[in-house]
Structure 1
C-alpha cells in the first residue's frame, strides 16, 4: 500500500504531556501482623532507592524537567497536532506540586489515568502503559518523588485547540483505547522474558513511539511495535516487527542489549529521540534488566511485510541520476568514516551496508542525519561517542537526496531513491 502524503501515512501521536507523574509518600508505616508499625530509616532509604531506579526506567525526568531547570518542576512544552501541552510540577511542593498527594492518589493516576481530584488525564501521560505497573513499584516511585527537593513553581496551563481542551471528551477515547490492569506474567515464558515484557510494555512505554497512532490519537493495536512517524518531531520510530526495518528477530541478544545500554552496537547506533531515552533512562538500568528487555524484544513476532512508504517518490530515470551523483558525494564526504564498501568501523562508525534503518521504506531518519548530524548518547560505557557532522549548510537539497539515495541503493541495500522535495520539507524540521 502507498500513502498519498507524509501525514496520511503516519498516524497522529498524542505526544501531549499529560497531567502528571505524581509523587509518592509511603506514610512511613508498614504492616506487621495486621498492625501498623513505623518504617525504619533503612527501609525508607531502600524504598526511595528502588523508586529512583524505577523512575529512571519510566524516563520521568525527560518530560518533567526543562533543560537547565529544576528537576521534576515541569513546564516542558509538548507540541502536538492538537495544540501545546506543558508538563506539570511533580515535586513534593504542597502548593504547586504533588505534596498533598497520597500513595493511593499516585497509584490511581498511574493505574487509571485520573488525577487527585478525579479529573481525567490526557494520554500524553502514558497511563495506558503505566497501568501495568504493580502497586509495589508505584509506591516505590512515589517514595522517591517525595524525597526530591520541592519547587514552588506553578504548572503552566495547556494551550489546546477546541474541542481538544474539553477533558470530558476523553471518556470516549478511554472507552476505545484504554484497558486498565497490572501486568500479568505469562506462565509459559521464563522469568527473564516476563521481566522484559513488564519493563517494555509498562514503565518503558516503548509502544508510544513504535506503534502507529490513528487520527483519534489511539494506538493501532493490530500494528503494535510496527513503527511510525512521530508528528511534529519528524523522526521515524522504526518497526520492531519487520526485518526490513529494525526488526530484531535476526539480531543477537547482545547487540540489542548493547544498543539499549550504550546507544551503540555492532548493528548500529541510536540518534534523535531514542538517543535521549538511552541517555536519560536506559543507561542507568541494570545489566539484568537490559538483558531481560533484549530477550523480550527479540521474541516480538516478525512480519515479512514492511510498513507503507512514507516519502515522496522519484521517477526511475531521476533516481538513476541521483544515484550516480550520490556516489561522488559519498566518496568525498562519507567514505573516510563509513568506508568505500559501506561497512564502516563499528561500533564507532556504524555500517551502512545491510543496515535496515538505512533502507527501510521511510527515508526520514537518514535524511535528517545527513542534514543535522548528531551523536549517539554519552553513556558510562561509551562516554565519548563519535558523532556525525551536519551537512545542511554544505549540501543542497538535491545533493542530500543524492547521497541518501546512494547509501540506500548500494552494497546490496534495497532502498529506493528519495526526492529533493522531501529533503526540503525536512530541512526546516525541529531538531528535538
Structure 2
C-alpha cells in the first residue's frame, strides 16, 4: 500500500514538472534569467557606437594599458612636448558625463571642447570632421553607457609658445577644412563606404601623410607617406607602388593585411600592428573589403622608370658579411632566396617595404624585432626576434643592405651611422 501511494505521488510530481516546463517554454513566459536580452532601439545605437568607436581606434589614445578603458591620462609625445589624453567616460566631474550629444558632435566635427577650448592636433578632428552626425551620436551613446571612471585629467606639458592655444587659430586657418563626408558621384557604394572609413573614422592620413614643422600637412600630398612624429617609423606612401601602393594587390590580400595583420603580400608591424589590433580586426568583412577597394583605387604617382638593383654600389666585403648574417639568422624563415613562407613569414624579395628610399623600417625590424598583431583570424602570429644585442652597427647595416639589394631588389645601401641613430632610440 505504501509503495502504491509513493508511486502515485511521484507521478503527480512528474506531471506538475512537465506542466511547468511546457508553460515556461511558451514565448514570453521564460524566467528573467533565462530570457534572451531584447535588442531595443537604444541598445542597437549603443552597439553601433561601440563598433564605430572601434573603427575610430579611440581606445588607442584614450586608454592607458592595463588601466580603465577610456579613462584617459595617456601621454602623447609630440615635437612640442607631452599632451595628456582626457577622460571620456561619463563621469560628471572628470569625464564627459555632463556633455550633450551636441557638445560631443562639436568636438568631433570642429575640434572644439565643451568649454570652448580649441583642441590640439593629437585629436584627429581634421579627419573626424567627416563623421556623420548620426555616427557621432551613436559613439556618444556608447560612451555614455560605460561605467564612469573618476580620474582627473592631467595638464599638458607643452613648451612655450606651443602652450598658447590661440596659436591653433592660425593652424586651423591653414590646414583645417570642416565638412561631413559626402559620397563621390559615379563611384560605387562600396568605394564610398571605404572612403568614409579611411578618410574619416580611420584617420589614415594622420600617419600616411608627411607633416611639416607646424604639424600641418598638405591635402595635395595626402597619403604620400611620411615619418610618424615621435614614433620613428615611416608610414609608407599609399600612392606609390614602390612603397605601399596597392595597385597590383588582390583585394583579398589588402583586406587580410588590414583585418588579419598578415597576407600573402606582406605583414604589419610597428604602429600599424597596433591599429590592426585595437581597431581593424573588429570591423566586418564588408567594411574591410570596402576599405581595400578604396585603397586599391588610389592613383599611383610613379612617373620615372622603375629603379634597378643597386648591388653594384655595395662593397664585396659588406655584401658577403650581410649574406653570411642573413643565411645564419634570417633564411630559416624568409628563405635563401627571400621568398618567405606566406602568410606567416613575409617575402623580402620584391617587397616594397624593404626597398623604399628610407631604410628606417627594415633597420628597426632588425634591431627591435616584432610581432604582427594577435587577431581573431590569426590569434598566434609568428614573430621576429630582436638582434640589437647580437649585431653591432656594421653588421646591422650589412644585413639590411644585403636584403635591400639582393634578389634584384632596388634598395640603396645602409650605413652604420643610420643603424646607430636608430639604436640610440631603443629602450634601456
Is the CA contact (8 Å cut-off) linking 1:233 and 1:430 kept in structure 2?
no
SS of equivalent residue, structure 2 residue 91: coil
Q: How does 1:357-376 map to 2 (within 5 A)?
A: 357-376=353-372
Aligned-partner SS, 1:84: strand
Aligned to 2:326: 330
Q: 2:379 aligns with which of 383, 396, 419?
A: 383
| Residue 19 (structure 1) aligns with | none
Aligned to 1:298: 296
8 Å Cα contact 1:242/1:305 also seen in 2: no
Gaps of 5+ in 2: 1-37, 305-309
SS of equivalent residue, structure 2 residue 234: strand
Alignment of 1:155-194 (within 5 A): 155-194=153-192
Q: Equivalent of 1:103, from 101, 106, 110?
A: 101
Local SS of the residue matching 1:370: helix
TM-score in terms of structure 2 length:
0.88
**Given that residues 319 and 405 in structure 1 are in contact (C-alpha distance below 8 angstroms), is that contact kept between their aligned partners in structure 2?**
no
Other structure's SS at 2:408 match: coil
Q: Which runs of 4+ in 1 moved over 4 A?
A: 314-320
8 Å CA contact retained: 1:338, 1:350: yes
Report if aligned partners of 1:74, 1:88 keep a CA contact under 8 Å in 2. Answer: yes
Per-residue deviation, 1:149 = 1.2
Distance 2:186 2:171 in 1: 33
Offset at residue 127 of structure 1 (A):
0.4
Partner of residue 265 from structure 2, selected from 267, 270, 276:
267
Deviation at 1:268, TM superposition (A): 0.8
Aligned twin of 1:59: 57
1:353 corresponds in structure 2 to: 349
Say yes or no: does 1:417 pair with 2:410: no
RMSD: 1.6
The Cα of 1:231 is off from its aligned counterpart by 2.4
Kindly tell me: are residues 202 and 317 of structure 1, through their superposed partners in 2, closer, same or farther at Cα, counting changes over 3 Å?
closer
Equivalent residue, structure 2, for 1:42: 40
Q: What count of residue pairs does the alignment treat as equivalent?
A: 385
Partner of 1:213: 211
Answer 1 or 2: higher relative contact order, Cα 8 Å, separation at least 6. 1
Report how far residue 321 of structure 1 moved.
3.2
Q: 2:285 aligns with which of 284, 287, 302?
A: 287
Give the match for residue 398 of structure 1: 394
Aligned to 1:115, which of 105, 113, 116? 113
Instruction: Give the alignment's TM-score, normalised by structure 1.
Output: 0.87
**Number of the residue aligned with 1:4:** none
* TM-fit CA distance, 1:181: 0.5
Please point out which of 401, 408, 413 is paired with 2:404. Answer: 408
Separation in 1, partners of 2:426, 2:216 = 24
- Secondary structure in 2 aligned to 1:325? helix
Measure the CA separation in 1 of the matches of 2:401 and 2:212: 30
The CA deviation string for residues 55-110 of structure 1, in whole angstroms up to 9 with x for no partner, is: 00000000000011110000111111100111000000000000000000000000
Secondary structure of 1:78 counterpart = strand
1:202 aligns with 2:200: yes
Structure 2 partner of 1:31: none
Check if 1:127 corresponds to 2:125.
yes
Contact 2:76 2:122 (8 Å CA) reproduced: no
Residue 222 of structure 1: how far off its partner (Å): 2.1
Tell me if 1:223 matches 2:235.
Answer: no
- The equivalences for 1:6-85 within 5 A come to 42-85=40-83
Question: Match of 2:250?
Answer: 252
CA distance in 2, matches of 1:366, 1:392: 13
Instruction: Give the SS at the match of 2:59.
Output: helix
How far apart are 1:336 and its partner, in Å? 0.6
Separation in 1 of the partners of 2:39 and 2:197?
28
Determine the C-alpha separation between the residues in 2 that align with 1:41 and 1:351: 46
Q: How far apart, in 2, do the equivalents of 1:263 and 1:136 lie?
A: 30
Q: Partners of 2:197 and 2:426 in 1: how far apart?
A: 30
CA distance in 2, matches of 1:430, 1:111: 37
8 Å Cα contact 2:313-2:413 kept in structure 1: no
- State the distance in 1 between where 2:315 and 2:202 align: 40
| SS at 2:82 equivalent | strand
